[in-house]
Chains A and B, each alone.
Chain A
Amino acid sequence: MSAKSPPRTSLQKLLSRFHFGITLFAVALSGLTILLAGITAMRGYADRNIELAAQLGAYGVEPALVFNDAAAAREGLAPLMRIPGIAKLRVLDDRGQPLTEWASPTPDPAPLLTRAFFPKPYAVTIRRNGSAIGTIQVWGDSSTLIDYVRIGLLAGLACLIVTALGAIVMARRFEYELVKPLNAIATVAHDVRLHRRFEKRVQPLGIAELDRLGGDINALLDELQGWQGSMESEKAMLAHRASHDALTALPNRAAFDEQLALRIAAARQRGGRFVLLFIDADNFKEANDAFGHAAGDAVLVALSSRIRETLRSGDFAARIGGDEFTVLVDPLDAAVEPQAIADRLRAAIAQPLMLPGGELYRPTASIGFAVFPFQADGAAELLTAADAAMYADKLSNRTRS
C-alpha cells in the first residue's frame, strides 16, 4: 500500500454517517415545525383566553359604568382577577377617564414572553343599547404560557430523543441488512481467490440487486470451475501421454527410468530387494513383415496385456522400445525365485493369439533379469545386467530352436 492511496472507510461506517445526518436533519426539521406550530397554537389559545376574559369583564362592569360606580366596577372585575394569565385590568368610562384599575399581585414569570405575546392590551368597547359607554382593557401575562412552553419544550425534547433513537436503531438494522449480503459475497470471492475453492457459491440473498450480483458471481464461478476442471484433466492427459505408450497404454521409457530410480532409492532405504526383468519379443520383425503392421501392433498389445496380467498390482511394467518390455517385481519375496517369475511370464506370453488377418500366431519372448542389489545397485548397471541376461536367453533360445 502506498501512502498516496486515499483513506478507506467501511460501507457500514459510511451508511452510519449518512443515516445519522439524515436523521438529525429530519428530526431538527420536524422539531422546528412542531415548535412553531405549537407556539402559533399557544398564541391563539392565549389570545382567546384574554378575549374571553375581556368579554366577561365587559359584561360584569357594564352596570357599574351605567351607574358610574367605581366600587361596583371593581366588583364586576372580580371574576377576572381569579383567571390566571391576566396582568392588568382597566375600565375607562365614555370620556376615556379610568373608572377602576387592577394589577395582578403575582409577578410576571417571564417578561420577555409577555412582551412577545401580549405587546398591547386587548380592549373591548362596552355598549349599552348600541352606544358605547366605556372600554375595558386587559393585559395578558406569561403565567399561563410559561407552563405550555415548558411542557412543550420538554415534550418536544422527549420526542426528539425517541425519534432519534428509533431512527438510529432502524438505520443500524438497515445497514446490517445491506452489509451482511455484501459480506457474504466478499467472503465467497475471497475464499475462491485464496484457497482455489471453486465449488463455493453465494447463497440466495434477500436484496434483489445484490442477489443478481451474487447470481452473476455464481455463474462466473461455474465457468471458472469448468475451466479449472478441463484444465486439470487436460494436464493429466498430457502427463499421461508424456509418460505412457499410446499403443499399449503401458508407461514408456521415461516413466520407467523415473520409476526405477524411485524404487532403487526406496529399496536402498528399507534394505529390500527387487528384480528387474527385461523382455524382448522373439522374431517380432519377421512377424511384422509377414503379417503387416496391424498384426505387429496386435502382438504388442497382446504381449503387454499378458505381462500386465501376470504381475501383482504393486509391480511395474513398461514398454521401453519397439518390442522391448521391462518389468519391476518389487518387492521380491525371499521364497520366490526370479527364474520362476521369468518362466511364468514366458508361459503367459506363449499363449497363441488370433491376428487381425485370421491367422493363429504363437509369440515367444526372451527374458533376462537382474536382482537389486545383488547383480547391480545402480539403475544403468541393473538395466545392462538384465539386458545382457536377456541376450543370453535369446541366444540359448536360438540354439534350442
Chain B
Amino acid sequence: MGVAKRVLASLFLIGALLSTPQMSVQAASQTIIDDGVDGLTRAVNRMLGGIISYVRWPGAEQSSRTLCLVGAPRLTDRITPGIPGGGPAIAVRRLTAAAVTGGSDCDILFLGRMPADDRQRLIGWVRGRAVLTISDDDPACLYGAMFCLARKADGLSFSVNLDAIGRGPLRVDPRVLKIGQSDGGAA
C-alpha cells in the first residue's frame, strides 16, 4: 500500500508539474464557504484541519496535537480545527507570545493579529523547531508563517510559504503545497 501511494504521488507530481502553467492562470483555489452565520467559521476550521492532517511531524504519530493561539484571529474567534475522518485530537490553548517562547509544548502556532515584534520573535523562535505556523493576518504570506489563510471575494483560500516550510523539520504533503502555491501565485 505504501509503495502504491508513493508511486501515485510521483505520478501525480509529474502530472501536476506538467499542467501547472495553464492551471495557475486558469483559477485560484477557493474553498467554498457555506451560507449561514457559521459558514466562515466552519470553513476556517475545515481548512485548518485539512492543513494539519497533511503535515507530518518528525517522530512517532501522536494521538493529540496542541494548537497555541497567539493574538487575535481575524477570520473567526472560534478556532476548533476539525480533522477530516478523525485524526489526532487538537487541543486549542490561548497563549501570549512570551508564554510560547518561554517554554511550551506547542505543535501548531496560530498567529492572529499581533504586534510586529511579537510576530518576528515567534517566527524566529519557530525556526528549526517542529512547529507548524499558520497565520490569518498575512494575505500575501510574506512574514514567515508557513500557511496563510485569506478571505477572498468568493471564498476562503490559503497560501504556502515554501521557504518557511523548507527551514523546518516538518513534512507537508506535496499536493497541499501545490494547492497553496498556485493560490499564492495568483494572489
Interface, chain A (partner B; CB < 8 A): 55-56, 59-60, 62-64, 66-72, 74-76, 78-82, 127-131, 133
Contact = CB atoms under 8 A, between A and B. Distances in A.
A74 B25 CA distance: 13
A63 B50 contact: yes
Interface string B21-33: 0010011111110
Contact of B31 (A69, A78, A82): A69
A79 B14 contact: yes
B93 interface: no
Place the interface of chain B in its size category. Answer: 35 or more
Nearest to B12: A60
Interface string B49-80: 11001100000000000000000000000000
Nearest to B173: A63
B85 A130 contact: yes
B86 A129 contact: yes
B151 interface: no
A163 to B, nearest CB: 42
Contacts, number: 103
B87 interface: yes
Contacts of B100: none
Given A69-B29, A129-B83, A60 B47 contact: no
14 contacts: A56-B15, A59-B175, A60-B175, A67-B31, A67-B47, A69-B29, A69-B179, A71-B30, A72-B179, A74-B27, A75-B16, A78-B15, A79-B12, A129-B83
A63 B179 contact: yes
B138 to A, nearest CB: 19
B27 to A, nearest CB: 4
Contacts of B179: 63-64, 67, 69, 72, 75
A75 B19 CA distance: 8
A66 B50 contact: yes
B16 A78 contact: yes
B182 A59 contact: no
B29 A71 contact: yes
B92 interface: no
Contacts of A75: 16, 19, 23, 29, 178-179, 182
Contacts of A74: 23, 26-27
Contact of A60 (B16, B26, B46, B49): B16
Given A55-B8, A64-B179, 19 more contacts: A55-B4, A59-B8, A59-B175, A63-B50, A63-B179, A66-B53, A67-B47, A69-B30, A71-B30, A74-B23, A75-B23, A78-B15, A78-B23, A79-B16, A81-B19, A82-B19, A130-B85, A131-B84, A133-B85
A81 B16 CA distance: 11
B30 A129 contact: no
